[in-house]
A = this chain, B = another copy of it.
Amino acid sequence: MGKPLTQVTMKTLAEQLGVSATTVSNAYNKPDRLSEELREQILAKAKELGYCGPSAAGRALRSGKSGICGFLFGERVSRAVADPYAVVFLSGLSEAVEEHGGSVLLVRAPGEDEAGMQSLQRAPIDALVFSSGFVNHPAVELLRQRGVRIVGSQRAADGDWVAINDTKAGRLVGKHLHRLGHRDIVVISPDYQHAGGPEFEYSPDHQHPMLRPGTYERDRVHGLWEKMPDARIRVVSASHYSRESGRKAAAYALDVQDRPTAVVALSDVLALGVWDAARDRGLAPGRDLSIVGFDDIPDVGFLGITTVRQPIGEKGRLAGRLAMDPDYPERQITLPIELVVRSSTGPAPRMNK
């Protein structure tokens, strides 16, 4: 009647009922390998003894699966969750993972310190999903070696991924802005590694630490450049994915003599900040300054910001499916994108020199 002082296990249950542990296990996992009657009996006894089903640890050791999918994010949780893109992705991910009976573990990408790595190693995950960056992060490599299934968010020759064609996304924006007559662009790019200086001019040949090859940031900028090779493309860094950070970067870009006619933010949440900065200065988006973002998060639609839409939730959902189902046939998925033209872009104004 009192609480069991010792752990109730399958063995306990089996002994009490005079059946084998296997049968108890089957009662939970393979109901059809068992007479209905016996099963009921076992379940009843379980309730009586306070046994609440197979232990997660035992099962994980024996079966080699924990049912947990790790979601890798940089820096602090608060930042990860401040970015609507990440939130929507995470929602889709967790939805798909739950459909497979699993759950999502929040995993902070460790620095080079051993402590963080250790903690990562302890995490019993079957798969690891990351939404961007981290492609060659040492932690990811370690986990891969360990047999953890890795699902990325960028196109690559091998491995599993769900991605969009970022170069194409950049081209869509370049074409649009070029047609509108823009020839002087500032790109706002997140620089979470703080590797870059405040500003530099993009050229496809010169490799800048802020726009490393293989990153989606570089692909987008490069696509942009492809469609407007005669334009001046400056890149300004934002410290991380947040509206406030975009505002600051835009302030830096706008408070100069030779103000650009258009600002392209590599992420919508930054574009929101650009919008704020423009309004602060009395610049009407779409007339005095064109603003473009990427991803199409809900808020930018509200403000009328032109953007390249991608199905973020679907991306997360598919990533979750790849993570939880090794037999899912398509392992490299490119999702469609689409330019959504809104009021924040318009013909390039003649700058009164």
Contacts and interface: CB of A to CB of B under 8 A. Distances in A.
Interface of A: 7, 50, 52-61, 64, 66-68, 76-78, 81-82, 87-88, 90-91, 94-95, 98, 101-108, 115, 118-119, 121-125, 142, 145-147
- Nearest 10 CB-CB pairs, A to B? A56-B124, A78-B91, A57-B61, A57-B60, A77-B94, A53-B121, A61-B61, A77-B91, A104-B106, A101-B119
A52 B121 contact: yes
Nearest to A28: B118
Contacts of A68: 105, 123-124
Contacts of A67: 119, 122-123
A88 B142 CA distance: 31
Given A53-B121, A122-B56, A122-B67, A77 B105 contact: no
Contacts of A54: 121
Contact of A102 (B60, B101, B115, B119): B119
A98 B119 contact: yes
17 contacts: A50-B145, A55-B61, A56-B121, A56-B124, A56-B125, A57-B124, A60-B124, A68-B105, A76-B95, A81-B87, A94-B108, A98-B119, A103-B105, A103-B107, A103-B123, A105-B105, A105-B106
Contacts of A124: 56-57, 60, 66, 68, 124
A57 B7 CA distance: 19
A87 B50 CA distance: 35
Contacts of A119: 67, 98, 101-103
Contacts of A108: 94, 98, 103
B76 A66 contact: no
Contacts of A118: 53, 101
Nearest to A58: B61
Contacts of A88: 78
B142 A52 contact: yes
Contacts of A105: 68, 103-106
Contacts of A57: 57, 60-61, 64, 66, 124
A123 to B, nearest CB: 6
Which residue of A57, A81, A108 has the most chain B CB atoms within 10 A of its CB atom?
Answer: A57
A123 B56 contact: yes
Contacts of A121: 52-54, 56
A56 B66 contact: yes
